[in-house]
Copies of this chain bind each other. A is one copy, B any other.
Amino acid sequence: MQANQELVDLEHLRKIFSCAVDTKLQRIEADVVANLHEFLSKISVAADSRPQELEQYFQSYRIPDAPTQVSEQADFLQQQVVAHAVNISSPKFIGHMVSVLPSFVLPLAKIMTALNQNLVKTETSKSFTPLERQVVGMLHHLVYQRDESFYRQYLHSRQQAIGVFCSGGTIANITALWVARNKLLASRDGFAGVHVDGVTAALRHYGYRDLAMLVSQRGHYSLAKAADILGIGRKMLISVATDRHDSICSKDLRAKIKALRAQRVAIVALIGIAGTTETGGVDDLNAMAAIANDNGCHFHVDAAWGGAALFSVRHRQLLAGIAAADSVVIDAHKQLYTPIGAGVLLCKNPTSLDYICQQANYIIRTGSRDLGRHTLEGSRAGIALLVHSTLHILGQRSFELLINSTIATAKQFAELIIASQHFELITAPTLNILTYRYHPQPRYPLTLAAQRAINRLTTDMQRRQRSAGESFVSRTTLALQGHQEPVVVFRVVIANPLTTLSHLREVLDEQVEIAASLLADSGCDLYDYR
């Protein structure tokens, strides 16, 4: 490049980084907002574009040499990205745990984006540091209900943390189990601890043959990742049976712990679930806490989804015992209605997070307020600002209404399914999640071939409904008592307060049509579909 041209171009570039008011950008923003508004106002979930078609717009692997106009890029994003995104705000998007957002989030998110604070260190997040600690404290109080003096001591402690923000529930779960492993195999008697010497040396020192964690068969797959990355091994995430309420079977849990201990396998953690991803089932946390206590194990509760039930006088007893957990995960980006990127790990004991404490010369110094001392992640955005805003603008009572209302809707939907001649309810909603399948006039017992035929039909129905884009339910495969074969089911998550029974009726009506059409195309009966 010519030196002169470089200077001219650099001057132009500097303007892009300066903070001057730019009317052209303002026009582009207005245009973007109008386009988003139009997209999000639709009832339908997605355009019926196929993945292969979309990929053609994203083929170039070369970073373009020359600049693109902002308006041109905005047009591209509107036409190829927004138009073919998934409208998770649709009241008929009832398939996954992604959240519709309250309307005030978008303007307030500008503060987070524009300031671009890095929460790893106070030097890059001054006021955001106490704000994030306050939000952690509020959620800690929601779970643990400790007294004034506790929070006075720990809310802004320079030594300890009672919880941390993470990018999501997966990192939060992994962090909790990292704490549990390091606590179990901590330094003692001249041994430096697993964090320093590694897993093999730790087992040798402690005289254990192996490590294990236990969770019901409905545990989230992030727990298997945790077992893998922590060096425990996926095999040693021991799966425990569930009862007919989809809650962990205490008897099986006790038996498995006993068998493990007999083989000198140390238990890193028992993991309770408050709202399983697949069915919304809740474990008996009191019973698990007692078992953990009897065995001196870390008790972790994955309440990423169901933690929000604590807002409700009507439903919080489902989670009774949660305050006995050593650690609890709640995802703010699920039922706290904030954008993705906000998982929270809460610890009963303020010393727990010391087991993974970091330091570095240039950053996160000991005795500082730096939040990065206790996180798995390094740089982190100030999304706590949006959780703070949601907690304040909605307030406890609105969260209670929201959770009550979505659970009520799920229960009404379950009744609708039960009353229908076309569908069979598979798991009833404990929280706001249920599963069902298309199965007119069930004739049990089913042959293996018939079970497989229904599974195939359910799979095809879900795919076709998803492709059509009018509505969206997800599907999963459940191992269930009384069924020889794993059962493929439609999985419904009700979290959008705008979802009404009439939307749900439309989803069912569409499925009846899809089933008829698939059966007609195949020329088969339900029980020998395809």
10 contacting pairs across A/B (C-beta < 8 A)? A13-B497, A19-B103, A40-B115, A86-B115, A101-B114, A109-B113, A196-B233, A196-B235, A200-B210, A221-B378
A496 to chain B, nearest CB (A): 7
Residues of chain B within 8 A (CB-CB) of A443 are none
CA distance A83 to B131 in the complex (A): 13
CB distance A17 to B171 under 8 Å? Answer: no
- Whether A394 touches B67, Cβ cut-off 8 Å, given contacts A98-B124, A126-B46, is yes
Residues of A389-430 at the interface with B, using a CB-CB cut-off of 8 Å, are: 389, 391-402, 404-405
Residues of A86-145 at the interface with B, using a CB-CB cut-off of 8 Å, are: 86, 88-89, 95-96, 98-111, 113-118, 121-131, 133-134, 137-138, 140-142
Interface status of A188 (Cβ within 8 A of chain B): no
CB distance A134 to B59 under 8 Å? Answer: yes
Interface status of A57 (Cβ within 8 A of chain B): yes
- Pick the 9 closest A-B CB pairs, nearest first: A231-B231, A198-B233, A170-B378, A362-B476, A29-B107, A199-B231, A84-B127, A58-B134, A61-B137
CA distance A449 to B125 in the complex (A): 35
Interface status of A501 (Cβ within 8 A of chain B): no
**Of B117, B231, B376, which one neighbours A88 at CB under 8 angstroms?**
B117
Interface status of A290 (Cβ within 8 A of chain B): no
CB distance A229 to B117 under 8 Å? Answer: no
Known: A83-B127, A198-B199. 20 other contacts (CB 8 A): A17-B102, A19-B89, A29-B107, A32-B111, A40-B114, A54-B127, A59-B134, A62-B138, A64-B396, A70-B393, A73-B393, A96-B118, A110-B110, A168-B380, A195-B234, A198-B233, A200-B231, A221-B358, A229-B230, A362-B477
Interface status of A60 (Cβ within 8 A of chain B): yes
**Contact bitstring A40-63, B, C-beta under 8 A = 1, else 0:** 110000100101001101111111
Residues of chain B within 8 A (CB-CB) of A6 are 401, 404
Residues of chain B within 8 A (CB-CB) of A169 are 378-379
CA distance A63 to B311 in the complex (A): 10
CA distance A466 to B402 in the complex (A): 44
Interface status of A324 (Cβ within 8 A of chain B): no
CB distance A228 to B356 under 8 Å? Answer: yes
CB distance A64 to B392 under 8 Å? Answer: yes
Residues of A221-243 at the interface with B, using a CB-CB cut-off of 8 Å, are: 221-222, 224-225, 227-236
Interface status of A474 (Cβ within 8 A of chain B): yes
CB distance B234 to A65 under 8 Å? Answer: no
CB distance A229 to B376 under 8 Å? Answer: yes
Residues of chain B within 8 A (CB-CB) of A104 are 16, 25, 28, 70, 73
Interface status of A286 (Cβ within 8 A of chain B): no
Interface status of A300 (Cβ within 8 A of chain B): no
Residues of A443-464 at the interface with B, using a CB-CB cut-off of 8 Å, are: none
Interface status of A512 (Cβ within 8 A of chain B): no
CB distance A362 to B10 under 8 Å? Answer: no
CB distance A122 to B51 under 8 Å? Answer: yes
Interface status of A80 (Cβ within 8 A of chain B): yes
Interface status of A295 (Cβ within 8 A of chain B): no
**Of B106, B231, B376, B397, which one neighbours A198 at CB under 8 angstroms?**
B231
| Chain B residue, CB-CB nearest to A405 | B10
A474 to chain B, nearest CB (A): 6
CB distance B126 to A54 under 8 Å? Answer: yes
- Whether A116 touches B88, Cβ cut-off 8 Å, given contacts A362-B476, A391-B63, is yes
CB distance B198 to A476 under 8 Å? Answer: no
**Of B25, B278, B376, which one neighbours A107 at CB under 8 angstroms?**
B25
Interface status of A333 (Cβ within 8 A of chain B): yes
**Of B32, B111, B138, which one neighbours A108 at CB under 8 angstroms?**
B32
Interface status of A475 (Cβ within 8 A of chain B): yes
CB distance A96 to B77 under 8 Å? Answer: no
Interface status of A480 (Cβ within 8 A of chain B): no
